[in-house]
Chain A
Amino acid sequence: MADNNIDFELVNKFNAGDEAAFNKIVLKYQQKIYWHARRMTGNHLDADEVVQEVLIVLYNKLKSFQFKSSLYTWIYKITSTRCINYLKKRNLKQIFSLEDSETKIVRSRDDVINDIEMKEKLNKLEKALQKVPVRQREVFIMRNFDEMSYEEISEITGKSVGGLKANYFHAMKKIMELVKNYENE
């Protein structure tokens, strides 16, 4: 509740012309935006691109935010939409071969994680997650990484709880298959 009040104040300050209030909002939520984007896209450079897109949307639309949901839910909704749009564009680029395999190698090298062991684990998981369809991947990430309930996910994605359960079920099944390879690696 207190968190919501702080957000309310920050949004009002920003709408009154205080640019520093926007910086505070970004500092508060940037890690969450980044990590959702990173898990969805599977690499740092794409995640960084999504973060910048989200911040631009956030900046332009914050004036129209009416606190019908929490700021976090609203930001998460923007992030989720941006990620899906970004992945669609990326897939199109890959179909038309505008991005070669060399670029992908450069992408994986360019990272901001210093712990090598964790980096390896993350890369392995990212690789497995990229094999899961986008909508299923999204539910899997929200359930397991962000520990969201189906109702919260439903509010963000606009999908029915039943549909989300089905998506999660399929994602888990796929992950179960991938776990075999995951263990062997």
Chain B
Amino acid sequence: MKTNDEVVKYIDNQMSPSERIDFENEMKNSIELQKKLSGFKKLMQDINQLKSIELDESYFASTIPKFRSRREVLRKFVLFPKLTFGFASILAVALLFVISISRTGRNVIIQKNNIVVKDTSSSEMSSLLDPASDQFNIGYVTKDEEASFDSLMNSVMTKELNLTPSDLSYLSPDQNSDLSTMLHNINDKEADNIYKEILSRRFFER
């Protein structure tokens, strides 16, 4: 049984003379092969007919006038390249001007409890934030805030280690010392023990 590949080779005269003879011999006995070739021959006949197909003559008569008018339109565009360039330049300058105007005065939008900052340099930012700097308290912690942090820390540690208030007093012998002093006084072994204890309670006893 010949494949389509071989049929194509036969049609395109790509077979050697001996292959061609073999193919033609097989074709005599194969109805399917004959069908394939007759289908293709029909297609080729149609192609040959279509080679001499006649078109409406008025179409070809209109090709040149159509081309001429189209070329005229294109020529007009080519005639004014300087004008086009000038117009484009003016447009670009105008666009840049609009952009620069829109950038000024839109740096900071301050609403109640909400500040939106856009494209602001560091000096501009400082001048905007300085008047309100006393409200930020970034650098120093007040005594009240320190007490509130201590209380928060105590409650966290009590919860994590399941400590009673007396255990807590053991852990924090000097209630007046600040957190940094307390941490400073803990040696490596104690810190390691506390850490292990927290880990063990958190992961193995729950």
Which residues of A are interface residues toward B (Cβ below 8 A)?
23, 26-27, 30-31, 34, 48, 51-52, 55-56, 59, 112-115, 118, 121-122, 125, 144-145, 165, 168-169, 172-173, 175-177, 179-180, 182-183
Which residues of B are interface residues toward A (Cβ below 8 A)?
4-5, 7-9, 11-12, 14, 36, 39-40, 42-44, 46-47, 49-51, 53-56, 58-60, 63-64, 66-67, 70-71, 74
Chain A residue with Cβ nearest B63: A30
Give the docked Cα–Cα distance between A176 and B44 (Å): 11
How close is B31's CB to chain A, nearest CB, in angstroms? 15
Please tell me if the beta carbons of A26 and B43 are within 8 angstroms of each other in the complex: no
Query: Helix, strand, loop or mixed for chain B's interface?
Result: helix
Give the docked Cα–Cα distance between A183 and B47 (Å): 14
One of B4, B50, B70 near A125 (C-beta < 8 A)? B50
Q: Which 5 pairs, one residue from A and one from B, show the smallest C-beta to C-beta distance?
A: A112-B56, A179-B39, A112-B59, A172-B8, A55-B67
Given the known interface contacts A56-B70, A180-B39, A183-B42, the answer about A169 and B47 at a Cβ–Cβ threshold of 8 Å is: no
Chain A residue with Cβ nearest B43: A179
Kindly count the residue-residue contacts between A and B in the assembled complex, taking CB atoms under 8 Å apart.
Answer: 89
Which residues of B sit under 8 angstroms from A112, Cβ to Cβ? Answer: 55-56, 58-59
Please tell me if the beta carbons of B46 and A172 are within 8 angstroms of each other in the complex: no
Please tell me if the beta carbons of B70 and A122 are within 8 angstroms of each other in the complex: no
A-B contact pairs, 11 of them (CB 8 A): A34-B55, A55-B63, A55-B67, A118-B53, A121-B49, A122-B53, A125-B43, A144-B44, A169-B5, A169-B8, A175-B43
Please tell me if the beta carbons of B66 and A182 are within 8 angstroms of each other in the complex: no
Which residues of B sit under 8 angstroms from A52, Cβ to Cβ? Answer: 63, 66-67, 70
Give the docked Cα–Cα distance between A180 and B14 (Å): 23
Which residues of B sit under 8 angstroms from A173, Cβ to Cβ? Answer: 4-5, 8
